[in-house]
Chain A
Amino acid sequence: MRAWQTFWSVSLVVAGGSFTLITVVVAIKGFQDLRDLFRRLRRQQDEEQ
């Protein structure tokens, strides 16, 4: 049981840590992605017209 406790504790730390880290990175860089998306969609619309 001790081994399972350790395994799940480590898994939880990895899960919580990666969740937090990826959230921070995506929150910052996702905004730039969103602006690029708008620009490309506008260009596609212009090309269609």
Chain B
Amino acid sequence: MATFFTYTSWGRSLGFTYLDWFIVAVYLVASVAVGLLGKRFIGKSVSHYLVAGRELGLYIGIATLAATEIGTITFMYNAELGYRYGFSAFSAALISGLAMIIVGRTGFVIRRFRELQLMTVPEYFERKYSLGLRLLTGILVALGGILNMGVFLKIEGEFLTIVSGIPTRYMVLTMTVILVLEVLYTVLGGMVSVVITDFLQYVLLSVATILVSIYAVHYAGWSNIVNKVSSTMGVAGYNPLVNPKFGAAFVIWQLLLWFSIHTCWQTTAMRMFSTKSPEISRKVMTWTGFIYLGRGMLPMLWGIAALTLFGAGAMDRGVPSPVVNGSTLAALDAMPAMLSQILRPGIKGLVVAGMLAATMSVNSSYLLGWSSILSQDVVLPMRRLLHKRPLSSRAQIVVNRVANLFVSLFLMFWGLYYTPPGAVYLYLNITGTIFLAGAFVCVTGGLYWRGANTVGGYSAMLMGAAGAIVPFFLLHSNETIAGFAAFGLAAVGLVVGSTLGRLHKPPLMSGTQGTTI
């Protein structure tokens, strides 16, 4: 079998055979071709473009929601967590899955959201509060979401270069080509294209996930995995409550965070808005919750397997650094390095195609999600505040496409050069918290508390953002403190602001104050 011999930054030739390249090429062509089919179905309607005409059934809903929230970035940060914190990391996966199942079973927030026939989360802020608060929320959501997505490309590129053996100097070019392909079908076909490709990508990424899990346990050995965690981390490798990085405060913060992600994260919420009925949205959320357990735990297991096979270097923050063929790597790169070593030709191509599928499904959904916020919740409200005439449905689609291209360009320049500090999972959590804390408090307050009003809404959004930004970026506190500060300040902001708002009744209060919608 002919083989491409290439050299990575850690100096060992890796084999990516013609068969592997063929599998990857077939996937890329099929994915783009299938994605372009979506353009036939969007017509002139903005609701077709953004929420697929609200026609998603249960199974395609599960596929698109799972594919949207499982990317190569997900595998990378979860594997890093497993490598650094052992089985204790499983607590984060368990919380994310259980929170999703609870939201699905109870219909908490998502049922009411679907009944309101929204297209974006900030749209709710105008219905309940005011146009101005919708604009502020739109800006914060777009800012936090795009910055959050900003680290995806570089980390996904690292995975692909290590596993496939593409020289690192071609990483920028490779990721740019992949981004262009994603943008092509997302811009043209909107949500319909994203849903079609998500289905194909979900099946492929799931097969890759199952294959890698089998390989990882087979090569590392279950008893070796358990022994390695025991000898390296002791009880902290199993019990999250005694692990210094986790603890009870972390568990509570994660609960708050995951409830807010499953209800207010734009890309997740868009799937709920796109379902045929509120009942279908509940079922989609419930069943995807079970997938979320595997979404977290399986890649964490890969990380622990990588620790078992390659964790032999100098101690770094309590765990030995991975050493592969004499070169010391970062903990983040341990999992892809392991895959490059243990996967056979053919299987490696299938896994890389699966990871590309994961990458493209997440990126296309996120591009559509954040560009829809820019077009629907920033550009359109600003036009209304400036008393300009409303845009037609077709013009809104054009604005969304331009916003999509803008986000893509930003990602190309920011995403490929910025390196997040510390564990990627925690960095993503805290950038998301910038808007999630305020948004979650405003949404739950608006839906379930009659006293919530516009002054409280403004206070919650601003104090929630400050609570995440000031402790983490300026005071360099750890993520748990910043997370608690954000949610705590947002809640205080809503209650105190709403109370003051009722006393003074300023003219900016509008929407449906004094009711719950």
List the interface of chain A (C-beta within 8 A of B).
1, 4-5, 8, 11-12, 14-16, 18-20, 22-23, 25-27, 29-34, 36-38, 40-42, 44-45, 48
Contacts and interface: CB of A to CB of B under 8 A. Distances in A.
B213 interface: yes
Contacts of B296: 15
B488 interface: no
9 contacts: A11-B297, A15-B290, A19-B206, A29-B58, A33-B61, A34-B196, A34-B199, A37-B195, A40-B55
A48 B90 contact: no
B41 A38 contact: yes
A26 B56 contact: no
Nearest to B239: A4
Interface of B: 41, 43-45, 48, 52-53, 55-63, 66, 87, 90, 93-94, 97, 192, 195-196, 199, 202-203, 206-207, 209-210, 213, 226, 230, 234-235, 238-239, 287, 290-291, 293-298, 301
Contacts, number: 121
B239 to A, nearest CB: 5
Given A16-B298, A19-B210, A40-B53, A5 B58 contact: no
Given A8-B87, A23-B210, A48-B45, A37 B293 contact: no
B57 to A, nearest CB: 4
B293 A18 contact: yes
A26 B301 contact: no
A48 B43 CA distance: 9
Nearest to B276: A40
A29 B209 CA distance: 20
A44 B206 contact: no
A14 B293 contact: yes
Most buried by A among B66, B199, B209: B199
Given A1-B235, A11-B293, A44-B53, A25 B90 contact: no
Most buried by A among B41, B287, B295, B296: B41
B203 A34 contact: no
A31 B507 CA distance: 52
A15 B226 contact: no
